[in-house]
C-alpha cells in the first residue's frame, strides 16, 4: 500500500535495515517530497520527536542505487546525514519493526487493525498493541585510573565496550546493573550513578548508562557472553565503540575527566 500526501515531508524508506538516502551535491539527506520517492509496499504517517510529521515506509524488494538515491545501512548512515535526521530515521525504523511484528494479535491470532500511528487493535478480542521498547543498561566501571572494557561475542569486529544487559521483570535499573556485572564478570561494584540514555533502534532498545566503582572480586568472564575483558588505562586502550553509541560517549567522558 502506498500513501500519497499533498504536503512535502521526509520519507524514511527501508528495505530490511537499509535506509534510502537522496544524493545531493553537498552529500546525502533523507528524501523530502509529497509522495513516496520509490515504490513501497506500505507507508505510515509518523510524528517525530520535534513534532514534525513524516512518512515511514518499507519495501519487500531490495532498494537499488540510482543517480538520485542510495540505499545504506542505518548504522552507517550516521556518518553521512545530519544527526537530527539519523535520530528520526532510528525512530522510523522502530515503527517499521513494530508494524511488521504486530500484524496478528498475540492473544487470539486475528489480523490486527491500525487504529492510530502507534496503536493497533484486535477486532476480535479487543487487545491493543503499541510499540515496545526494551530497556538495557550500560555500566562504566572505574578502578583507580582504569576502566573495565569487554569484548562481547556478538560484537562485530574487535572493539571493546562496556558491560551491558537487558532489564528483567521486577528489577530496578540499579539492581540490573549489579546483576549484569556480577553475572558477566564476577565483580562487585559500588557508587552506582546515572549517566544518560539513548534510543538504540537495533531494533527497539533504550540504552541507559551508569557509572560505578569497583568494589571487589576477580574477573571471571561469563563465557557464553564475553570473549575477553580487562581493566585498561588511558594509555593502553583497545579499539573502542564508534561515536554514535552511548558507550562511546561514556568512555569519552571518562577520558576527558
Which CATH number characterizes residue 176's domain? 3.90.79.10
pLDDT at residue number 6: 64
Please state the rounded mean pLDDT for residues 73-86: 96
**Phi (first) and psi of residue 252, to 5 degrees:** -60, -40
Does the pLDDT at position 248 exceed 60? Answer: yes
- Tell me, yes or no, whether 155 and 206 share the same domain: yes
pLDDT digits 0-9 by tens, 192-213: 999 999 999 999 999 999 999 9
Considering the chain, what percentage of its residues have pLDDT values greater than 90? 92
Is residue 115 domain-resident? yes
CA distances from 145 to 127, 148, 235, 248, 255 (A): 53, 11, 10, 18, 10
- Tell me, yes or no, whether 147 and 211 share the same domain: yes
Is residue 222 domain-resident? yes
The secondary structure element, H or E, covering residue 16 is: none
- Tell me, yes or no, whether 241 and 152 share the same domain: yes
Is residue 207 domain-resident? yes
Distance CA 253, CA 257 (A): 6
Q: Write down the residue that cell numbers 511484528 correspond to.
A: 101
Is residue 89 domain-resident? yes
What 3-state class would DSSP assign to 182?
Answer: helix
Please state the rounded mean pLDDT for residues 169-194: 98
Does the pLDDT at position 4 exceed 80? Answer: no
Is residue 2 domain-resident? no
- Tell me, yes or no, whether 209 and 151 share the same domain: yes
Distance CA 216, CA 148 (A): 13
Distance CA 123, CA 100 (A): 18
Instruction: Tell me the average pLDDT of the chain.
Output: 95
- Tell me, yes or no, whether 79 and 153 share the same domain: no
CB 238 within 8 A of CB 231: no
Is residue 221 domain-resident? yes
Distance CA 183, CA 202 (A): 24
The secondary structure element, H or E, covering residue 251 is: helix 246-256
Distance CA 78, CA 14 (A): 15
Structural domain tally of the chain? 3
- Tell me, yes or no, whether 211 and 171 share the same domain: yes
- Tell me, yes or no, whether 142 and 55 share the same domain: no
More confident call, 51 vs 120: 120
- Tell me, yes or no, whether 157 and 195 share the same domain: yes
pLDDT at residue number 117: 86
- Tell me, yes or no, whether 107 and 89 share the same domain: no
Strands (E), the chain: 9-15, 18-24, 27-29, 32-33, 42-47, 53-58, 69-73, 113-116, 119-121, 128-129, 134-143, 146-152, 163-166, 188-200, 205-216, 226-233
Q: What is the dihedral of CA 142, 147, 148, 149, to 10 degrees?
A: 150
Is residue 4 domain-resident? no
pLDDT at residue number 2: 40
Provide the residue range defining the domain that includes 52.
9-100
Distance CA 113, CA 128 (A): 10
Amino acid at each position: 500500500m502506498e500513501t500519497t500526501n499533498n504536503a512535502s515531508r521526509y520519507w524514511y524508506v527501508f528495505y530490511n535495515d537499509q535506509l534510502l538516502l537522496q544524493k545531493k551535491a553537498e552529500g546525502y539527506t533523507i528524501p523530502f517530497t509529497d509522495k513516496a520517492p520509490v515504490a513501497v509496499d506500505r507507508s505510515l504517517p509518523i510524528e517525530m520527536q520535534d513534532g514534525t510529521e513524516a512518512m515511514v515506509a518499507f519495501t519487500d524488494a531490495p532498494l537499488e542505487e540510482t543517480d538520485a538515491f542510495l540505499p545504506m545501512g542505518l548504522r552507517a548512515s550516521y556518518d553521512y546525514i545530519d544527526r537530527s535526521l539519523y535520530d528520526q530515521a532510528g525512530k522510523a525504523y522502530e515503527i517499521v519493526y513494530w508494524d511488521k511484528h504486530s500484524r496478528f494479535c498475540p492473544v487470539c491470532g486475528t489480523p490486527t487493525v491500525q487504529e492510530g500511528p502507534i496503536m493497533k487493535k484486535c477486532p476480535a478480542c479487543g487487545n491493543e498493541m503499541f510499540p515496545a521498547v526494551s530497556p538495557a543498561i550500560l555500566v562504566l566501571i572505574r578502578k583507580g585510573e582504569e576502566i573495565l572494557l569487554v569484548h562481547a561475542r556478538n560484537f562485530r569486529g574487535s572493539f571493546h565496550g562496556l558491560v551491558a544487559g537487558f532489564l528483567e521483570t521486577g528489577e530496578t535499573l540499579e539492581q540490573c546493573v549489579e546483576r549484569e556485572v556480577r553475572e558477566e564478570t564476577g565483580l562487585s561494584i559500588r557508587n552506582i550513578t546515572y549517566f544518560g540514555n539513548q534510543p538504540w533502534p537495533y531494533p527497539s532498545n533504550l540504552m541507559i548508562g551508569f557509572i560505578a566503582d569497583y568494589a571487589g572480586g576477580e574477573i571471571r568472564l561469563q563465557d557464553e557472553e564475553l570473549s575477553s575483558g580487562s581493566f585498561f588505562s588511558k594509555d593502553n586502550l583497545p579499539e573502542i565503540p564508534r561515536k554514535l553509541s552511548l558507550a562511546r560517549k561514556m568512555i569519552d567522558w571518562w577520558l576527558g575527566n
